[in-house]
């Protein structure tokens, strides 16, 4: 059997196999979610993983007690925040990292007790980029929080206009070129919304990837290519909605599998081709013959 013939059968198998209403797995008490994994007591969350007690979150990971937040990682007690990393007790803010007890901030880092600030690093007790004492800050913030949310947003937007914007947001990374929102990564090329990755390229919404290329919404993967919505993969390619698999190719909705090819919806399997069980020797023989035919 040639590779092309096998892939035709694989696509046919994919179309004939029942599809789950939502792709989610390893969750507890998570309702109305999609593409959510390893989470607990979270509702209306999508494209998220390892979250607990979250509500209306999107594309977030390892977050606790967060509401209405997107692209948040390793955060707790967020409300209406976007693109946040390792932060605590913040609201109405965007593009911040290692910030806590702050409101209406944009692009601030390693700071706490900020209100309406932008482009600040290693600061505390600032309001609209002006320095206050601790007591004066707390008194003024209590007053500002009584104003309508949109009024505080508008004041922040006017402040942001005074500062130039850089071409990309890449921090704590080395040799990461031509990407955006890349953090704590090394040797990554054309990656977007990626973090904690190494020696990889063309990543999108992916984290903790090593030696991976063309990955979308994947985490904890190594030596992988062309995978999507998957986690904990090793030496896999062309994989969709699968987890805990290794040494496999062309999988859809599979888990805890290894040495499988062209399988759909299988779990705890090995040495399978098109969902059919083979011995280790038969499996290797078929793949060898297929590879040899492609070379010739």
Q: Are 88 and 178 contained in the same domain?
A: no
Domain end call among 160, 190, 221: 160
pLDDT at 257: 97
73 and 67 Cβ atoms separated by less than 8 Å: no
pLDDT at 127: 98
What one-character DSSP code corresponds to residue 14? Answer: H
Q: Are 132 and 186 contained in the same domain?
A: no
- Domain count for the chain: 2
Helix 3-16 / helix 280-295 crossing angle, nearest 10 deg: 120
Is residue 281 domain-resident? yes
Q: Are 35 and 156 contained in the same domain?
A: yes
* Res. 5 pLDDT band, cuts 50 70 90: confident
Q: Are 127 and 69 contained in the same domain?
A: yes
Report the C-alpha dihedral over residues 40, 44, 45, 46, rounded to 10 degrees.
Answer: 130
- pLDDT tens profile 198-226: 999 999 989 899 999 999 999 899 999 99
Can you tell me whether residue 218 is helix, strand or coil? Answer: strand
pLDDT at 64: 97
pLDDT at 68: 97
* 103, two tokens: 């409101």
Q: Is the pLDDT of residue 235 over 80?
A: yes
pLDDT at 79: 98
Q: Give the mean pLDDT of 46-62.
A: 92
pLDDT at 261: 96
Q: Are 181 and 207 contained in the same domain?
A: yes
> Exposure pattern of 190-223 as b/e (b: 16+ CB <10 Å)?
bbbbbbbbbbbbbbbbbbbbbbbbbbbbbbbbbb
Return the closest-CA partner of residue 243 out of 234, 232, 259: 232
Strand (E) positions, 10-147?
Answer: 34-37, 46-49, 70-73, 76-85, 88-103, 109-115, 124-127, 130-131
Q: Is the pLDDT of residue 44 over 90?
A: yes
Q: Are 36 and 138 contained in the same domain?
A: yes
pLDDT at 167: 73
Domain end call among 131, 160, 189: 160
- pLDDT tens profile 20-43: 767 777 789 998 898 888 899 999
pLDDT at 168: 78
Q: If 0-12 CB within 10 Å is exposed, 13-18 middle and 19+ buried, where does residue 230 land?
A: buried
- pLDDT tens profile 144-199: 999 999 999 999 999 999 988 777 788 889 999 889 989 899 999 999 989 899 99
pLDDT at 105: 97
Domain end call among 160, 181, 197: 160
Is residue 186 domain-resident? yes
Cβ neighbours of residue 290 under 8 Å, at least 6 residues apart?
A: 1, 2, 3, 6
Is residue 180 domain-resident? yes
The DSSP bridge partners found for residue 67 are 55, 79
* Res. 293 pLDDT band, cuts 50 70 90: low
Where helices occur in the chain by DSSP H, the ranges are 3-16, 134-144, 149-160, 280-295
229 and 239 Cβ atoms separated by less than 8 Å: no
Half-sphere exposure of 41 (CA within 13 A, CB side): 6
Q: Are 200 and 262 contained in the same domain?
A: yes
Q: Is the pLDDT of residue 296 over 70?
A: no
Q: If 0-12 CB within 10 Å is exposed, 13-18 middle and 19+ buried, where does residue 140 land?
A: middle
Lowest mean pLDDT among 10-19, 108-117, 142-151, 228-237: 10-19
Say whether pTM exceeds 0.85: no
- pLDDT tens profile 89-145: 999 999 999 999 999 999 999 999 999 999 999 999 999 999 999 999 999 999 999
Can you tell me whether residue 245 is helix, strand or coil? Answer: strand
Greatest alpha-carbon pair distance for the chain in Å reads 78
Contacts 24+ apart (CB under 8 A), 134-140: 137/113, 140/115
* 296, two tokens: 């010739």
Q: Is the pLDDT of residue 294 over 80?
A: no
Q: Is the pLDDT of residue 295 over 60?
A: no
Is residue 273 domain-resident? yes
| Domain around 250 | 173-295
Q: Are 106 and 182 contained in the same domain?
A: no
Is residue 21 domain-resident? no
């Amino acid at each position: 059997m040639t590779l092309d013939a096998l892939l035709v059968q694989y696509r046919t198998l994919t179309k004939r196999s029942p599809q789950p209403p939502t792709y989610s797995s390893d969750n507890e008490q998570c309702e109305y979610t999609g593409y959510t994994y390893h989470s607990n007591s979270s509702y209306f969350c999508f494209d998220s993983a390892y979250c607990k007690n979250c509500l209306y979150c999107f594309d977030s990971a390892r977050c606790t007690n967060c509401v209405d937040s997107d692209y948040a990682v390793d955060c707790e007690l967020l409300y209406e925040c976007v693109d946040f990393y390792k932060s605590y007790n913040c609201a109405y803010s965007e593009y911040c990292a290692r910030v806590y007890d702050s409101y209406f901030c944009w692009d601030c880092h390693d700071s706490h007790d900020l209100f309406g600030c932008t482009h600040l690093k290693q600061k505390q007790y600032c309001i609209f980029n002006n320095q206050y004492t601790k007591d004066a800050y707390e008194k003024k913030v209590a007053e500002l929080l009584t104003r309508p949310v949109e009024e505080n947003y508008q004041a922040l937007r006017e402040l942001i206009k005074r500062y130039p914007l850089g071409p990309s947001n890449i921090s704590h990374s080395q040799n990461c070129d031509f990407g955006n929102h890349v953090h704590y990564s090394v040797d990554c090329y054309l990656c977007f919304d990626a973090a904690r990755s190494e020696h990889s390229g063309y990543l999108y919404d992916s984290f903790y990837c090593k030696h991976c290329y063309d990955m979308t919404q994947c985490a904890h993967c190594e030596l992988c290519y062309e995978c999507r919505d998957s986690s904990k993969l090793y030496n896999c390619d062309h994989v969709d909605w699968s987890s805990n698999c290794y040494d496999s190719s062309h999988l859809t909705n599979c888990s805890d599998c290894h040495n499988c090819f062209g399988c759909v919806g299988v779990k705890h399997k090995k040495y399978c081709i098109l969902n059919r069980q083979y011995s280790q020797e038969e499996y290797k023989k078929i793949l060898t013959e297929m590879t040899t035919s492609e070379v010739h």
